[in-house]
Every structure is written in C-alpha cells, then in structure tokens.
Structure 1
Amino acid sequence: MLSKKNKLDNGWKDFINRCFEKLSPSFKFQIAYKRDDFKTSNKLAGKIKKFLSREDLSKVKKIFKTREKIHKIKKWDNSFVAAMKLGFDEKHKIKIYRQNKNILTAIENEGKSFLSGILKIIVAIRVDNQAWAKKIIREFINMGPAEMIFYHHLGENHDARTLRQLFMQFLDKVNNFLSDVKWKKMFFNQLAILTNSAEMPLDLDQWDANWSFQEIKDQYKSQNYGIPYLGFWYEMYNYNTFPAQVDRFMKDELTGDNIKKWGRNYPWLFSYYFPENEKSQEEVLKIMDELVKSKIMYDKYLMLQLLGNLNESKNFKVLNKIKKRYPSLSRPLFQQKRRFYMDLLSKGEVVDFSIYQLLRLKDIVVEKDILWWVTF
C-alpha cells in the first residue's frame, strides 16, 4: 500500500509530466541543452531542424556561432593570475620579460578591458616606470561606471576569492610603488567606485585612502589633479555629500571653457549630469557629435543614456535640440534601445546585459527573441 507521501509524490510527478508535454519542442531542447554535446553548428542543426522553420533555424545557427565566438574571447583572469603568481622578483627576470612581452602583445591584439589595464600597471611596476604607471592610472581615473559593463572581460576560470586575494596583493604593490600619494588615493577611490556594486567592494582603510568631504574639496583644487578628472570628482561628491552640494559643485565647474578643454576626458559624465548654461551645453553637444558618429557601441550607449536622462528630467528644450540636430535620434527611445541592444546581441557584445535591458522593454517575445541567446 502506498503511503500518503508517495501518493503525493506520484501525483506531483504526473503533473510535471503533463506540463512537460505541453512545452514546445524548442523549449524542451533549450532547457536540456549542454554545450559539450554540440561542438559545431551543423551538429546542432541536425538536432533542431525538425522543429524549426528554415528561417528560424538560420537565426539560431547565427546565435550559436556568435555565442561560440564569445566563449573564445580572451578572458583576462588567466593572464592576471599568472602574472601575480610569477610576481615581481628579479630572480625570475627572464620569465618576467617573456610574460611582459606576451601581455603587451595580447593587449594590443585584444583591445581594451578592465583587467588588461591592470596588467599594464603590473608591467609598469616590473620595469620600474613610474611615469607609465601614472599614465595608465589616469586612464582608470577617467573611466565611467558603465565601462565596467562594456570592458570587463574578467572570465570565469577562477573563483572570486582567488581573484580578490591576488587583487589585494596587486594593490599593495601599487601602494608601495607609486611615490605620488594623491594619485594613489585617486586610483584606490576610483577602483572602489567601479567595484562598488560587486559582492565584495574594496575596503580602502588598509591603504589609508579614505578622504573626508573637506579633503575631497581641498584635493580637487590641487593643481593637475582637479578639472581634468572632473568625472571622478563628480563621483566622489556623489558618494560623500548631498545632491544640492553636488549640483552646486557641478554648476561652478562645468563651464563652457572647462568642457571645451577637458570634456573629452569624461564624455560619460554628460549622460549623468547635463549643464544648464547654454554655452556649456553647446560644448557638450560638440562632444556628442563625435559620439553620434562613432561606431563604438559604448559611445552609442552613452548617447542613449543621455537621451533617457534628459527625458526623465523633462529637459525637453535640450532634447528637442538634439533631435533636430540628429534626426536618427528622434525615433521613440524604446525603439532606439531595442535596436541598440539587438545589435549588441548580434555582435556578441555584453550579451547578458543586453538580454537584461531587452527584457526591461517588455515588448520582446522571450521565447523567440531571447531564449536562444540564454541557451547557448
């Protein structure tokens, strides 16, 4: 005789089986998919062509090939771990020389990423080049938060704890290497900003890198450390004071002359804060000219962010000026976003972020437009 529990279990299994029978063949395949079982698109096609139309099959094969390219993109965590494990000791100078050469060649071939920048700093420390290290750090300080989305390429070959431990060791090296205390503190604070949304954000106490709000105001006024890095100081104000003070600071500093001279250092800033002064606005729009013409997807993202923030803040005067100047930006924003994120998917760039943004639009057919991207 079956127990009450077993009857319940059997009833539940029957229910699950009936539900499974209702699923489409493609969805059944998607939830059971294992990458190791399908090494080529032809093998995949042989399995799924019986329940997909020719047009859908062609789309799915394209998605599969794009996803496979993504899997093969260089993940910088391996290089970072290898570099930190080899270290900085002179007794390994031949191995270090070879590794430095390989790192720089890979960076030149693969392009920009967060960890590739960190690796360049490691090389600069190894060759005892303070000026080069500071140059790379200045690039970090001008990074916008969204660059971590577009250029992270961290990889998944090592657990977060290992990477964090090695990253702390790297920061100790930077702390001991750089002679300029202000650059050190700016660098550490910028890393804290960029990693703030991570599960384990940086604790700046151990490097004595925390600034009081008064210190932030004083440091900003320092020659060579201020207006060229206004984006960084905007973030520091945001994290350390009230919106009214941030607004006052930006109104004072975001002048037409400052934007003309330094604005290209931090184009991302204008997606977060758009000046009220008309002369300043015109200088920003000159920078936007370059972003609109750019083929770089991150630049296009900044334009969409700008349009969204102007719309949200009801700054219709500037919004209409932009739409008049650039007719391609006059289409409804949700249409521009959908096209942009679908383009990102087709290029295989920041796929997970693109999927998330498309789902937020709520006019996407998940099974048709999204699910195959998640499958592979």
Structure 2
Amino acid sequence: MIYPDLPNESLPAALKAIAQKRKISNLLLLFLDFYISEEQFCEVRNNDFANCNLPETISDLRHYGYDIEMPANADEYRSQIFPAIMEMHAKAGYYGVQVPVGSIPFDKNGLLTPEAITLIKQQISIIASAGLNISAVGGSWDPDWTQCIKPQGQAAQLMGSKFLYGPFSTPFLLFPKGASSGQASTEWLEQQHLDFQKLFKQEIGPYLKSLGITMSEEPLQRFERMPARLKECTKLALSEGMDEFSIMIDTCHEFADGQGPEAYRHHVKQLAEANKLSGAHISAVHRGKIYESWFNQQFFNDFFGPLFEHGFDGEIAIETFDATDPVVEVAKINRKKFAHPLGVLINQLNYTCNMLADIH
C-alpha cells in the first residue's frame, strides 16, 4: 500500500464504514491547542512558528480547497482554522476526535473559569457542526487531584464525554524517588497504587460519579513514567472501590513493555468480564507515522483480536505526536515537523481501517 503525502481527502466507502463501526477517533496532538491563550499564541508567532505545525496545516488546507490565511491571533485560529481541521476529519471518515483538556483554565478551587466554559462550548459547537463525536483526554498533572483531575472531569462532562482518558494512577513523567533497583521500583509502584486506590475510593471516585464520568487509565511505558503495565493497571482496576475507574490499552505500550500475547489475552479477559475496558489507542513506538511503523497485520490481529472477541465497542483513538509545544519540551521528543499534518491524519485512518478490516 502506498501512502502519498497528500492523499485524497476521503476514504473508500468500505473503509469509512469500518471507521464508523469501530469508532475510530483522532487524538488531537498534531495541531495547535484549541485552548491556547493569546499570550501563548503571540509567543509561537514571534518564534516564527518554529515548534508549531500551523503553517504546514494552513498549506494542507489550501491544497484541499480552503481559502484561508494564517490567523493573526488565537481567536482567529479557533474561529477560522480549527473548524476547517474538524471538517477535514469528517471528510476523511473519522468517527470523532479526542480533545486534550489539560490546558483549560480553572481557579484555585479547581473549578473551570467562565472563559474556559465559553471556550469548551465553542469547541463543542464546532466539532458537532462537523458531525463528529467528541471525548476528553486528561492532560496536565498535579499532586493535588483538584488541580488536574477535577477541572478535567468538568470539561469531560461539558463535552458529553462518558470517559476522561489519560494516565492518572502513575502520571506522565512521574518516576520513583530514591529507587535504585528493580525491587525498590516495584515496591514504589505498589505503594503508589495503594495510595491512589485509597484517594480514589475516598475522594476522586465519588467526585467523578457526581459528574457521571469514568476515569480511563492508560498503562504507559518506561520512558514516559514509572512503567505501570497492563498487568499492574488491571490489578488496580479490579481492586475494591474503583467503580469509576477503567482501562484504555495502547498499541505502543503493549509493544514496548507488554508481557506478550498470552498474558495480554488474559488481562483483556479479566477486564472485559469486569466491564473495565473503555478504550484503545493506536500509536507507533517511535511516535511518528503508524503506516511507517513495525505494526503489521499480525500485530493488529494479536492486539485487537482479543478485544473484539470480548465485545469491545469503545473508541479507538489514533494518537500521533508532532514536533509542537508542549510535546517537544515536556516529552523531549525531537523530530522534524510533519510536512503534511492533514495528509498524515488521512493516511493514519486509511492504514488503520485496512488493518482492522478482517478482524472480528
């Protein structure tokens, strides 16, 4: 299969049907954050968009017939460019989009500001107008859950998202302090999960329940946080007091730090029987283009076969990182910006639907 840099804007009807049936969404990590402040936009612009793919996005949109110019400010980006990006997702055949909500403004009590609520409603309107489904992905983390999970849960509720996706029990870039051996790291993780379970049972869970939101934990791998694998996260999900806690499984992390197909199938069965499977991610280990990765048909069979066998019908989000802030600074991902971000999102969907076509 050849994947041109700028493919046709839509998939064949048969592949579109797969995208809708399997609820394939795009996690919006390729594009400028919808919630970017005017001050942040000025910084990006004054840096000549060096770590931002906005010029490339504008170029792609023009290629596909949109008569648009570079936005002068954040409001113009939200009102003119973002709607076109959403329209392109719908034309390509995506079921929906997953929106990072870590940068949404909130007050000292963890309550969304009036400005944040206005922006969320604007974004909901744009995405709904494109005919896409929307869900929320937790972003930033703070040791005080009211300063991260609390406002992100509110955002998910406003968006009509049943789940708040993201790593929470051992957050992004959280590593053990003073653990110089494997045994010490294992003990640290066990204590981390015990502490999280207690906090979740007493505070976080009841709060999420009041919002009608379920937290969806993503096992991550060693270079992103202390590796809480599917094994450890399954144990946490099945423990007492975790009713509003579920699991989202990622191809990248299972490929890099998973225990292999047999253990994977066992954990999937455990989660499915407990109704704890809420989503899946497709992301290449190198965080680039999935259609240029190691993920062949056999891997897709081994990863998605057990999910579908157990009746999984949650969202499948394609996750692709680009060389944009804050990913470059936070995750230290150093790669050339995608020359054609819209072409990438279309090709990702094409590849994914082809891989999923014959898996039941």
TM-score norm. by structure 2 comes to: 0.31
TM-score norm. by structure 1 comes to: 0.30
Structure in which a larger fraction of residues adopt strand: 2
Q: Larger C-alpha radius of gyration, 1 or 2? A: 1
